[in-house]
Structure 1
Amino acid sequence: MSTIEVLKALADETRMRMLSLLYQETLCVCDLEAILKLSQSNASRHLTKLKNARLITSEKQAQWVYHRADEKMLATCSFVKELLAAESDMSPLFRKDLARLRKYRECGGGCGRTVKIDEE
């Protein structure tokens, strides 16, 4: 995968936010919908772009598909990890996403158990 293709995939705030979450934890589309407040079609469209850039991998288990950051690609394109770290440190939105992920898990959210998260 070329650096240009990776940068194109990262040139969207929603995809960066998704990748940041998937770097922290393996999630399915329903988790990302709840945490980022996206529609299923919107979340799936962004996941496809990340997958086509080989930034994430996916694994099907029963009816669920779980996504996570591709560690091999992140090792190859180390600048992606640096971007994620910088955004996590500086962006209030990225910090809020991580807080929402923690709250989602604390409330029992997961595949088949989607919960609503109140605004903080």
Structure 2
Amino acid sequence: MNINDIFKALGDENRLRIINLLSKGKLCVCDIEAILMMTQSNVSRHLNKLKNVGIISSEKKSQWVYYSIDNNFVNKHKMLYEYLINSFNNIPQFITDNENFEKYKNREQSCKNPSKSNYLPY
């Protein structure tokens, strides 16, 4: 994991927004897509970039792939990770994303039970 590549990956607001969400726990693509109101292809592209540099990892369960912050990244770059998480708490877009995350996780509907659109009504 090259530090230059890590900072390139962190240089995109959408990837930072994804890291913010994943700091709260494991999520699948459809969860991230719904919370951030992004397309599946856009979310997948950003997840691949973050995974390729070692910031996140994935775990396949049945037909879903769940993403989370890679523990090796946190251990190796503890100060950077803490800086990111603390910074997210002061940025309006990230605060809104956190609120949307809370609304989304309290819904009965998910990608496993998609009775309606997963997008949150704002």
Partners of 2:58 and 2:67 within 8 A in 1 = yes
Alignment RMSD: 1.2
What TM-score does the superposition give when structure 1 sets the normalisation length?
A: 0.92
Unpaired segments ≥5 residues, structure 2: none
Name the counterpart of 1:98. Answer: 98
Name the counterpart of 2:121. Answer: 118
Partners of 2:37 and 2:119 within 8 A in 1 = no
What code does the residue aligned with 1:66 have?
Y
Deviation at 1:112, TM superposition (A): 2.1
Name the counterpart of 1:66. Answer: 66
What TM-score does the superposition give when structure 2 sets the normalisation length?
A: 0.90
Deviation at 1:80, TM superposition (A): 2.7
Deviation at 1:103, TM superposition (A): 0.3
CA distance in 2, matches of 1:109, 1:97: 18
% identical equivalent positions: 39
Name the counterpart of 2:11. Answer: 11
Secondary structure at 1:111's aligned position in 2? Answer: coil
Kindly report structure 1 stretches of 4+ aligned residues shifted beyond 6 Å: none
Answering whether residue 2 of structure 2 is matched by residue 2 of structure 1, we say yes
Secondary structure at 1:50's aligned position in 2? Answer: helix
**Larger helix percent:** 1
What code does the residue aligned with 1:84 have?
I
Name the counterpart of 2:20. Answer: 20
